[in-house]
Amino acid sequence: MAKMNPFEGLEISNDWQALFNINERQPCRKCSKSRKYFCYTCYTLNDDVENKIPMLELPFKIDIIKHSREIAGKSTAIHAALLAPNDVTIYIYPDMPRYTEDDKVILVYPGKSAVTLQDFYSSSKKQEDSKEYNKQKTSSKFITHALFIDSTWNQSNGILKDPIIRGLPCIKLQIRLSQFWRHQKGSPRWFLATIEAIHQLLVEFTETDVETNGPPKNYDNMLFFFRFMYEKIHQLYEHDQLKSYRRPMNV
């Protein structure tokens, strides 16, 4: 039976297949540690990868807060920093981003008060149309920064108590099955890897009434490294033998 392709229909550059031809490790240009493809601590690409990957420009800034105990080499957050280096910043907690009053920041996290992006957009539009809001408005964007937490669910509890995060509008994403190959005990299949969540947010953003001056941009290349690594893992292991894909939706 042919293996189902979970990326079918996505416009991901076929150059990810060229990464299979890279066999040698290289020293990172910053820390000199031996790395394959990229350095996951310096967020730099190896020379033999640099000209093979797509570079993305995002409609807003993405800030990722990593827990200090999260293993860097296992995190997909690094993919975002490599593919959109001008728009993605990774912070190691307790280091945190600093925002101004003019920034419009959302926290992407399935908290109790979370609303969908579409509902948040509709609410923002009502505020924008109000007379009082228009007096203070400095930007037509309803999002300038999207904040993600890259950690286990238990580790995220402490980060969520930080005063910079408390009070931010919380956004929940539409449910989709994760294709991540690492199993986080107790989590259901719809708990996405960080790079999957970033891609999902960008997909939902293009479905709002934002930036109507032209056709919506395609952000599927945010899954460029994820697509490659998914295929690499599935060459080494049988799909049905990986715990991540045997989890029911609510477990």
Q: What are 25's two structure tokens?
A: 């490790």
pLDDT score at 173:
96
Q: Provide the b/e sequence for 115-134 (b: ≥16 CB within 10 Å).
A: bebeebbeebeeeeeeeeee
pLDDT score at 248:
56
Which listed CATH number (3.40.50, 1.10.10, 1.20.950, 3.40.1280) goes with 54-123+141-241? 3.40.1280
The CA-atom distances, in angstroms, between 141 and each of 35, 145, 146, 209 are 39, 10, 12, 11
Q: Report the C-alpha gap between 127 and 143 in whole angstroms.
A: 13
Residues 6+ apart with CB under 8 A from 179: 6, 7, 196, 226, 230
pLDDT score at 191:
82
Q: Report the C-alpha gap between 12 and 116 in whole angstroms.
A: 26
pLDDT score at 249:
53
Q: What are 62's two structure tokens?
A: 């993405």
Residues of the chain where predicted confidence (pLDDT) is lower than 50: 1-2, 137-138, 251
Give the count of beta carbons closer than 10 Å to the beta carbon of residue 153.
13
Q: What is the amino acid identity at position 4?
A: M
0.85 exceeded by pTM: yes
| Ranges of each domain in the chain | 54-123+141-241
pLDDT score at 125:
81
pLDDT score at 14:
94
Q: Report the C-alpha gap between 121 and 145 in whole angstroms.
A: 14
pLDDT score at 129:
72
Backbone phi and psi for residue 184, each to the nearest 5 degrees, phi listed first: -100, 115
pLDDT score at 101:
92
pLDDT score at 243:
60
